[in-house]
Amino acid sequence: MADEDDDPNHLTPHCCPFVPSIPRRLGAHLVALELHSPWSSSTLLSIPSKVEASVCVSGLAICIASLVIALSAVAPPLDAHAFVTAPPRKLQSDELATVQLFKLNTPSVVYITNLAARRDAFTLDVLEVPQGSGSGFVWDKEGHVVTNFHVIRGASDLRVTLADQSVYEADVVGFDEDKDVAVLHIDAPRDRLKPIPVGTSSDLLVGQKVYAIGNPFGLDHTLTTGVISGLRREISSAATGRPIQDVIQTDAAINPGNSGGPLLDSSGDLIGINTAIYSPSGASSGVGFSIPVDTVSGIVEQLIKYGRVTRPVLGITFAPEQSVEQLGVSGVLVLDAPPGGPAGKAGLRPTKRDGYGRLVLGDIITSINNQKISNGSDLYRVLDRCKVGDKITVEVLRGEETVKIPITLEPRA
């Protein structure tokens, strides 16, 4: 931080004698008194000290009296109505509801600090340095806290600050990086934990009011309001790039530090986790996104119970979309299908080279259960609707022919 003395725009107060301002005509009056005083400087020098003191006191009294007369002449009379006390502020019903919603839900919102271990270059001591922060909310009385995965990503330690400013070390229970959800645990007294009321997101409507509570830029609990601008949006996970479907779009301001905080409806119920903004500058631009609570609830339950999400996988590695587009076909090109995975067991063919070093393309997935697959996002979207153990029918383009292959989905290893 720059020193205030170095700032040309900073005004530094300096000690100086207090000099009262005297009206022009009052000054003239005092000058006239001085000119007509019977005591000249030579006379004052020759009189005894007691007389001199008496004269000085008399002169001071005359000056004060003249000052009072002058001020009374220029000062306006006091208005009896000038000090009327303003009536108590009256809030509208919608304002009262917003204030009450904030008061009731603020105790459920927490501040999360992401700490990273750094070694001092000179002393070689290992220090914990804050590398990021975000928001979260209390899920239950057992001390589970829900937030975004990207808020805790890369942390060596995590600290959770409750609304009463008590601070606790947090442990990671589990996370789902594909959906940007994480669950932490803090060892806090039950009476200090206020779980947030959980609502639903399947019945949301565009235009209904929403409220976001968080800690933007590290500031203490902040409330922003808006409406639902859109439903069933799709964004990509910041960690894996995997699409997140059915995302809520809102114009409620979501700034850095709001990530992981709750999005509430007008009843104060949780309807989503604030997770992303669309902005060239990184600040709120009126386009924010929240993961719907129906998606979050299922993930949180699995993380608390198992420590991980048992999401089904196909067991393949596929090529970037640009590579497939250059071939002039639509679908997902299989680059690798390990023999121990679901696709490998079912016989999907990976891309490889022949004995002459020429590239032999693998199978190109064009549909799953009769749902068209044009790219990786389509593939993930279909798999997200499936469960571990489900049998699916994968249609692939193999050379010039179309082949249908049944595959049983397995959990991620």
Q: Which residues are catalytic?
A: 150, 180, 259
Buried b (16+ CB within 10 A) or exposed e, 15-39: eeeeeeeeeeebeebbeeeeeeeee
Partners of 262 in beta bridges: 273
Contact 169, 186 (CB under 8 A): yes
Contact 303, 310 (CB under 8 A): no
Which has the closest alpha carbon to 185: 164, 163, 160?
Answer: 160
Contact 198, 209 (CB under 8 A): no
DSSP category for residue 321 = H
First CA to last CA distance, the chain: 50
Angle at 260 between CA 256 and CA 266, to 5 degrees: 100
In angstroms, the CA 200 to CA 178 distance is 21
Contact 259, 215 (CB under 8 A): no
Which has the closest alpha carbon to 363: 344, 376, 349, 343?
Answer: 349
Please count the other Cβ atoms lying within 10 Å of the Cβ belonging to residue 68.
10
Please count the other Cβ atoms lying within 10 Å of the Cβ belonging to residue 322.
7
Which has the closest alpha carbon to 337: 405, 391, 390?
Answer: 405
Which has the closest alpha carbon to 155: 137, 175, 138, 141?
Answer: 175
Q: What is the largest CA-CA distance in the chain?
A: 130
Distances (CA, A) of 90 to 95, 99, 101: 10, 13, 18
Distances (CA, A) of 123 to 115, 118, 119, 120, 128: 20, 12, 8, 6, 14
Contact 110, 161 (CB under 8 A): yes
Question: Which contiguous run of DSSP H or E holds residue 113?
Answer: strand 109-119
